[in-house]
Amino acid sequence: MTMPRETLCVGLAGARYAIERPWGDIPLGRGLVSDVACDARDHVFVLLRHDAYVDPDLPSVVELAPDGTRLAAWGAGEIADGHMLTCAPDGRVFVVDRDAHQIVVFDAKGARLGAIGDRHVPQAPFNHPSSVAVAPWGDIYVADGYGAARVHRFSATLAPLGVWGTPGQRGGEFATPHGIWATADGRVLVTDRENDRVQVFSPEGTHLASWRGFSRPMDVCADPAGRILVTDQVPRLHLLAADGAPLGLCRPVLNGGHGVWMDGAGRIYLAELSPSRLTRLVPQPA
């Protein structure tokens, strides 16, 4: 990797981060970096998006060690249109296969364990889903955001538990629910992209709040302290308190982070589609 001429830094709520990009041994040019997630070992899983009609049959998921070394690459022939992914506390990896209308479940080594939804069958139950989250209490939440405006809830065994949401601008309505996260204190956060807000729900789907101040928010996650990270298309990275109060803003990427995740060491990862790469923000001494 070519060394940068200068090391750029950003600040969030008094903390300073060095920008590392492109980070990790990702096969650039072999798919678009669409999302990123970390497991309990701080292994980094990067989702590569392909066009099933014109691209070669290439791996969709790349696993990196905490130092960026490539450990594995898998998912070739399993994913048609990877959009977002998440790592569950039990080690499973859930991949949103958007245009196949399915959530595909793998173990940490890439072995397929199962799926939610009928493959290549719209509305059974998904219609181009966008994102998936596994809650600390075990439930699975899917933002069904491109051909629908709803959130689905499933049990840890993939059994359906409920669905909520309709198109619109009021609380509980959506215009592209794009990113989703379940917090340790029992809330579900959804980036309602075209409504320029993050909506907050109970585990059962009761609307609790709407947070504004974003421009087409893309993804959301929380740090171990319960603070919230949100990417938008300005492009900016927002840091919020647990109640949604703004704490900080920065611009760590060129054209927007499609996905965001923080690992156990406080390093922040941003998946960039254009240019396609992974950016890492590393905390610096005060």
Question: Is position 159 within any domain?
Answer: yes
CATH code for the domain in which residue 98 is found: 2.120.10.30
Print burial letters for 256-265: b (CB count within 10 Å at least 16), e (below 16): bbbbbbbbee
In a domain, 21, yes or no: no
Q: Has residue 1 got a pLDDT over 60?
A: no
Please indicate, yes or no, if residue 119 is contained in any of the structural domains. yes
Does residue 23 fall inside a structural domain? no
Query: How many distinct helices (H) and strands (E) make up the chain?
Result: 0, 27
Q: Give the C-alpha separation, 161 to 80, whole Å.
A: 27
Q: Tell me, what's the pLDDT at 5?
A: 79
- For residue 4, being part of any structural domain is answered with no
How many residues would you count in the chain? 286
Give dist(CA 3, CA 65) in Å, integer.
20
Cα-based distances in Å from 263 to 152, 224, 283: 26, 9, 11
Asked whether residue 42 is assigned to any structural domain, the reply reads: yes
In which band, very low, low, confident or very high, does the pLDDT at 286 lie, cut at 50, 70 and 90? confident
Residue pLDDT, tens place only, 25-52: 999 888 999 999 999 999 999 999 999 9
The encoded tokens of residue 227 equal 């603070």
Average pLDDT value for residue range 1-15: 84
Is residue 12 situated within a structural domain?
A: no
Ramachandran sector of residue 90 (left: φ over 0; alpha: ψ -120 to 50; beta: rest) = alpha
Which residue range(s) make up the domain with 109? Answer: 28-283
Q: Is residue 103 a contact partner of residue 86, using CB atoms and an 8 Å limit?
A: no
Total domains present in the chain? 1
The set of long-range contacts for 221-226, using a CB threshold of 8 Å and a minimum separation of 24, is: 221/181, 221/260, 221/261, 221/262, 222/181, 222/183, 222/184, 222/189, 222/262, 223/262, 223/266, 224/262, 224/264, 226/183, 226/184, 226/185
pLDDT confidence of residue 3: 62
Q: How far apart are CA 283 and CA 265, in angstroms?
A: 9
**Pick from 3-17, 92-106, 157-171: least confident:** 3-17
